[in-house]
Structure 1
Amino acid sequence: MNPEKAMNVDRNREFAGRTVLITGAGKGIGYATALLMAERGAHVVALSRSQTDLDALSTTIPCKTITVDLADAAATLAAAQQVCEAQPVDLLVNCAGIVELEPFLEASVASFDLTMAVNVRAAMIIAQEYARGAIARGTGGAIVSVSSIAAQVGTPLHAAYCASKAALDALTRVMAVELGVHGIRVNTVNPVVTLTPMAEKVWSEPAKSAPMLARIPLQRFVQPDEVARAIAYLLSRDSSMVNGVSLAVDGGFQAG
């Protein structure tokens, strides 16, 4: 698309006529992204392990919902195939993620495997199905995965989580190189602590949150809608030459 024409896109309807698949859409960043994409005209396909959360989302925006346990590789593949075969998927947001809080010396193989399965393996499986469809159609596309500053910064009690996010960033760089030749851009957003239900259980205590806040120049944590807007940018034509990037949304945390 001509860059000058791209500048004239109506921001209120910039994704009109496009289908976006969002995992982890029932809560937090995924939920905020689903709302924003629908607001900007996209047809949303929402995946979550909680039917209750999806029911709540579908009362807020028009969307197709699918319940799936992303820890189950076979179920993840089946869900991805179901979505991608039902209609062309133009854009993909891998947002689903979990965290298991354990000191490193007590970290279990089971929790490590579960975290990697949901945070990395599921993203790979779904991205493969999405990319196969986009390549077959010759349409190009964009994938954004929700990573974290934990990919670069060691955080106590987060061994498996930090490892999974570093792996997700590395996987993204490989996808950016291999899929870029097909016109598919692949990036991550890497927020600092984001005030989602998952984060609340970790950072609700002032004793834990105060040291982290002290390292953020803007002196606050991120709101889910702020990450959603960064995701929308990476999905949009405004970022047409942005590929293989891990975009920090951290209030300057890593600048210090």
Structure 2
Amino acid sequence: MELGLAGRRVLVTGAGKGIGRGTVQALHATGARVVAVSRTQADLDSLVRECPGIEPVCVDLGDWEATERALGSVGPVDLLVNNAAVALLQPFLEVTKEAFDRSFEVNLRAVIQVSQIVARGLIARGVPGAIVNVSSQGSQRAVTNHSVYCSTKGALDMLTKVMALELGPHKIRVNAVNPTVVMTPMGQAAWSDPYKAKTMLDRIPLGKFAEVEHVVDAILFLLSDRSGMTTGSTLPVEGGFWAC
């Protein structure tokens, strides 16, 4: 299916690893022009070698002022993928202020800031656009030791809806994808214990975790005009986890 992304300028946060990296690679293959944002320079360097022509930006999105400096003059952006996130897992009774603040800074506040930068540019140019926020199945289902992480993603789902409501009149669509555990290197490390994995897999009707391409395909669809009548949605990519 032709997605019509060639020539579009797309900004992807959390581009260095996992879903973000897979998204950059897939967008590059379509002929899109990609601005890849990561806090790790080495990841950006290797990504540039894999995808010549992408524009790397190294910044910690948890730092508001640094993000404004890095992206405030990024130039015209047509599409945005808010993928950057941290998962600082702690039992509820052991949640720290530091974990709470860092999680909300990156997982929610940065989404607001980067989306404001991109949306203001789209509105000033008078052109339509699309934003995809990478959320989680944990936004709507409780997961042990994920109290802060699940809270950030629940807030992200509602932010997606409000963004869609307010930006819709400007022809800017906003949607979220909500994956289950994804078999990135981080996902494999976190869920490699068979007993731990079984507790989650038993709640997934399809009986398996997601691969990066499952999430990337959903992101590309929501960025494209093929989803031109879809906004304010949360698209589950979780094998039926929410059905249980």
Q: What TM-score comes out, normalization by structure 1 length?
A: 0.92
Q: Does 2:95 align with 1:104?
A: no
Per the alignment, residue 56 of structure 1 pairs with 46
Give the aligned partner of residue 56 of structure 2.
65
User: What one-letter code is carried by the residue in structure 2 that aligns with 1:65?
Assistant: P
Identify which of 52, 67, 74 aligns with 1:76: 67
Q: Residues of 2 paired with 1:202 and 1:118: CA distance?
A: 20
Alignment partner of 2:2 out of 5, 10, 20: 10
Match of 2:192 among 200, 204, 219: 204
CA distance in 2, matches of 1:129, 1:29: 22
Give the Cα separation in 1 of the matches to 2:71 and 2:216.
Answer: 22
Cα deviation code 1:93-138 (max 9, x no counterpart): 0000110111000000110110000000011100000000000111
Superposition deviation, residue 57 in structure 1: 0.7
Structure 1, unaligned runs of 5 or more: 1-8
User: What is the CA–CA distance in structure 1 between the aligned matches of 2:24 and 2:174, rounded to whole Å?
Assistant: 19
Kept in 2, the 8 Å contact 1:80–1:130? The answer is: no
C-alpha separation between the residues in 1 aligned to 2:10 and 2:115?
Answer: 12
Return the letter of the residue paired with 1:47.
V
Q: Encode CA deviations 1:59-84: one digit per residue, 9 max, x unaligned.
A: 1112000100111111122222131x
Separation of aligned partners in 1, 2:159 and 2:241: 24
TM-score (norm 2): 0.97
* Deviation of 1:198 (Å): 2.9
Do residues 34 (structure 1) and 30 (structure 2) align?
A: no
Tell me how far apart the structure 1 counterparts of residues 92 and 208 of structure 2 sit (CA, whole Å).
27
Aligned mates of 1:49, 1:82 — CA distance in 2: 18
Q: Distance in 1 between matches of 2:2 and 2:139?
A: 34
Determine the C-alpha separation between the residues in 1 that align with 2:185 and 2:82: 18
Aligned partner of 1:233 in structure 2 is: 221
Are the equivalent residues in 2 in contact too, given 1:22–1:95 (CA < 8 A)?
yes
- Confirm or deny: 8 A CA contact 1:90 1:134 kept in the other structure: yes
> Does residue 248 in structure 1 map to residue 239 in structure 2?
no
Q: Secondary structure at the match of 2:73?
A: helix
C-alpha RMSD over aligned residues = 1.1
Quote the residue 1:174 is aligned against.
162
The answer to which of 69-78 and 146-155 deviates more is: 69-78
Q: SS of the residue aligned with 1:97?
A: coil
Query: Which ranges in structure 2 are unaligned for 5 or more consecutive residues?
Result: none
Aligned-partner Cα distance in 1 for 2:105–2:33: 27
Alignment equivalent of 2:113, drawn from 120, 125, 141:
125
Secondary structure of residue in 1 paired with 2:72? helix
* Alpha-carbon distance, 1:43 to partner: 0.5
Indicate the percent of aligned positions where both proteins have the same amino acid.
Answer: 51
CA-to-aligned-CA distance 1:27-62 (integer Å, 9 cap, x gap): 000001001111111001000010010111111112
- Correspondence list, 1:117-156, <5 A: 117-156=105-144
